[in-house]
Amino acid sequence: MKQGPGGLSFSESPALSQHFPYITAVLAVLLGLAVVISLSLGRYPIPPRMLLARMFGTAFESERMEAIFFNVRLPRIILACMVGTCLAASGAAYQGVFQNPLAAPDILGASSGAATGATLAILLRLSGFMITLFAFFASLLAITLVMFIGERTRGKKVLGLILAGLMVSSLCNAGISFMKLVADPNSVLPEIVYWLMGSLAKTKPSDVSFVLLPISLGLAPLLIFRWRINLLTLSEDEAQSMGVQVKRTRIMVIVSSTLITAAAVSVSGIIGWAGLVIPHLTRRLVGNDYQHLMPASMLFGALFLMVIDGVSRNLFATEIPLGILTSLVGAPFFLWLITRKGDLW
């Protein structure tokens, strides 16, 4: 069994390897059921029989139902799946690259950068699309700064990236705090606070179109080259002896993970814990081999956020921000995970 410097083994047991097809099939079926239920439930319920009829070309009974389905509910559900997939995939990738079980999608400042851009756009009272645009490019700018600083640090480059991420995140949080201080407390400040708590309440079809390309560009390398993440757990000499260029592979994984994190956060706000907890739970099901872990984490992440979003918009009359619910679910679960017997990895 191979183990890297952080203790992460990627040669899983035969039992877990045999279970992988069944577990992914179950996750896919559950995700499909969650999609159908989410499409049906809401302030304006749509019976499942009507959804089925619509799939075969029959129009809905009213134009209002048609508009709600295509302009509100369907884009939101698609985006929930995409955001959940991205957060889980980037969390799993970061944990492998940085050999840190506490690594999460915001470890390099992507979330803090997006929050800074969105806060600035809200403070300037720009449109919803401009808020998303500001969040996305501010996130990329923050990551670019982290990579620039990390490459110039002494010692281990991975540690340098983490420390640079912490520094940039701290600067971003300081900027957010200042903008909250000067924001209009009656109109602008509540909108900033709500965005920072994470929500898909204002999802539009244009949001899905906006993030589709960067998410596709980021997820594709993580899926295609996921086996290489296993080799990053080895020493650099061992990995190179197996034909892997460690530095290039590490940069590819970090850039891809950062791109999907920036895209996800720009349209959803800050949604914590999903990228930290879901990869760990998936490891319990399919093992540490990234050939299995990455696709299973993507499915599990989409399912998780789909369920959380369904609870968010249907539990009470007032919608609950996603960040609150993911913290309520994620924090106790992670506490259980780190206190149970056995290694966290």
CB-CB contact of 5 with 277 (8 Å): no
Contacts of 2 (CB under 8 A, 6+ apart): 9, 10, 11, 230, 233, 234
Fold of 14-339: ABC transporter involved in vitamin B12 uptake, BtuC (1.10.3470)
Question: Cα angle at 226 between 13 and 162, to 5 degrees?
Answer: 105
Q: Could you report the per-residue pLDDT of 72-124, keeping only the tens digit for each?
A: 999 999 999 999 999 999 999 999 888 888 888 888 899 999 999 999 999 99
Distances (CA, A) of 94 to 150, 308, 309: 15, 23, 25
DSSP assignment of 99-110: T-TT--TTTTSH
Q: What is the pLDDT of residue 60?
A: 80
Q: Could you report the per-residue pLDDT of 234-292, keeping only the tens digit for each?
A: 666 676 777 777 888 888 999 999 999 999 999 999 998 899 999 999 998 998 899 99
Q: Could you report the per-residue pLDDT of 201-248, keeping only the tens digit for each?
A: 989 999 999 999 999 999 999 999 898 888 877 666 676 777 777 888
Ramachandran bin of 198, using left for φ above 0, alpha for ψ from -120 to 50, beta for the remaining angles: left
Residue ranges of domains in the chain: 14-339
pLDDT band for 344, please (50, 70, 90 cuts): low
Q: Is 5 helix (H, G, I), strand (E, B) or coil?
A: coil
